[in-house]
Structure 1
Amino acid sequence: MNIADIISKSAVLDNVQAASKRELVQSLSERIAALSGLDERAVFDAVWERENLGSTGYGEGVAFPHARIEGLEKVCGMFARLEEPVDFDSLDGKPVDLVFMLISPENSGADHLTALAALSRILKTEGSCDKLRKARSTDEIYAILNA
């Protein structure tokens, strides 16, 4: 699975503002709901419920909020670079400024995990987070994600 299969160019956001983890998840839920045609409250509730099971703050300023949602037909992702980092209860205690949100159909076991793995591979590429932080436009961010 390629990043372009998960995150469309219109799903790359820059300079996102949020004062808290909850506000960030709510804002991204609204935007990904608009892209996927789902109810924004249903998206937020599912992602927040998953987040309450354990933080998806990966570390090094990156988070992967995600959920499986009834009524969704295919995996849908979004990337956001924050204007200012927010506390995300990350494993390393560092605030988050790069966020990959992923929603998947309720019964998409393998596809959901494959998509998460594809997103996490970006982080394993040396220097990728620095490149994402230094990118000057959403076009440049999208190119980095798909390199």
Structure 2
Amino acid sequence: MQIGDILDRAAIAARVSAPNKRQALTLAAEIAARNFGLDSAVVLEGLLAREAAGSTGVGHGVAVPHARLEGLTRMRGVFLRLDQPVDFEAVDDQPVDLIFALFAPPNASSEHLRALARVSRLLRQGDLREHLRQAHTPDAIHALLVQEQSAAA
């Protein structure tokens, strides 16, 4: 699984504002709904249900929310860079400004776990996080994520 296979440029928001975690997840749900032909309320419900089980804030200003959704036939992703970090109840108590949301078909258990691991490993790289924070366009963000994954392979 390659990042380019799950993350389309149209599913990247380079500068968005959200006053809190719920609004950030709502933005991710709206982008997912628009790009993947899903109902945004259903997507948000899936994300919120997962967050209720424990925060997906993985540290260093990064969150990787995820949900399994009916209507998907393959792994899909949405990337948001927030203008201002928000409290995500992250493991390191740091606010989050980089969000990579993953969406899986209901039956994609091992594929879903591999995708989560891949994205988490990728976003642990401090240099990449800083480059993502400086990128101005969805194309630049996409290129950074795809290029960095290729370099790490």
TM-score band (shorter)?
Answer: over 0.9
Instruction: Mark the CA change 1:126 to 1:57 in structure 2 (over 3 Å): closer, same or farther.
Output: closer
**Secondary structure at 1:73's aligned position in 2?**
coil
Residue by residue over 1:60-103, the C-alpha shift from the partner in whole angstroms, topping out at 9 and shown as x without a partner, is 00000101112221111011111111110101111000000011
User: Is the CA contact (8 Å cut-off) linking 1:6 and 1:115 kept in structure 2?
Assistant: no
TM-score by length of structure 1 reads 0.95
User: Is the CA contact (8 Å cut-off) linking 2:14 and 2:136 kept in structure 1?
Assistant: no
**Cα distance, 1:126 vs structure 2:** 4.5
User: Is the CA contact (8 Å cut-off) linking 1:57 and 1:91 kept in structure 2?
Assistant: yes
Computed over aligned residues only, the root mean square deviation of the Cα atoms, in angstroms, reads 1.1
In the alignment, residue 54 of structure 2 is paired with which amino acid? Answer: G
Partner of residue 70, structure 1: 70
Rounded Cα–Cα distance in structure 2 between residues aligned with 1:49 and 1:59: 20
Matched, 1:41 2:41: yes
TM-score by length of structure 2 reads 0.92
Across the two proteins, how many residue pairs are aligned to each other? 147
The answer for unaligned runs of 5 or more in structure 1 is none
**Cα distance, 1:134 vs structure 2:** 1.5
Rounded Cα–Cα distance in structure 2 between residues aligned with 1:140 and 1:115: 21
User: Is the CA contact (8 Å cut-off) linking 1:14 and 1:138 kept in structure 2?
Assistant: yes
What percent identity do the matched residue pairs reach? 44
**Cα distance, 1:29 vs structure 2:** 0.4
Partner of residue 89, structure 1: 89
Matched, 1:102 2:102: yes
In the alignment, residue 91 of structure 1 is paired with which amino acid? Answer: V
The answer for unaligned runs of 5 or more in structure 2 is 148-153
Rounded Cα–Cα distance in structure 2 between residues aligned with 1:118 and 1:27: 23
